[in-house]
Amino acid sequence: MSNSFIGGVSLKNKLFRVPLIAAFGTMIFLYLIGDIFSVSFLAFKIFQNKHLENGLTQTTEIALLPIGIGLVVGFVVERSIKARGK
């Protein structure tokens, strides 16, 4: 059995899929925490505020911290899978 085939899933496929799921899962979890507990630096907010002649204006606030943390988690998971595969 070669090192590039672990547990029925190729290492190349695992190196792409698992870190991606970990990164997006972390981002979703942090945005949910920010929304549930009203933590402004973890929140994703969409406001419809002013009534103009053409309709409503929409303001969107997106916290970048969950995106950064998700990218770091994805990177760490990828490195740990590579280290385990050696």
Give yes or no for residue 32 having a pLDDT over 90: yes
Structural contact between residues 3 and 84, judged by C-beta atoms closer than 8 angstroms:
no
Confidence at residue 14, expressed as pLDDT on a 0 to 100 scale: 74
DSSP 8-class letter at 42: G
SS3 24: helix
Domain boundaries, the chain: 10-85
pTM: 0.74
Burial of 19 (0-12, 13-18, 19+ CB in 10 A): buried
* Dihedral pair phi/psi, residue 6, rounded to 5°: -120, 125
Please give the Cα distance from 23 to 73 (Å, whole number). Answer: 6
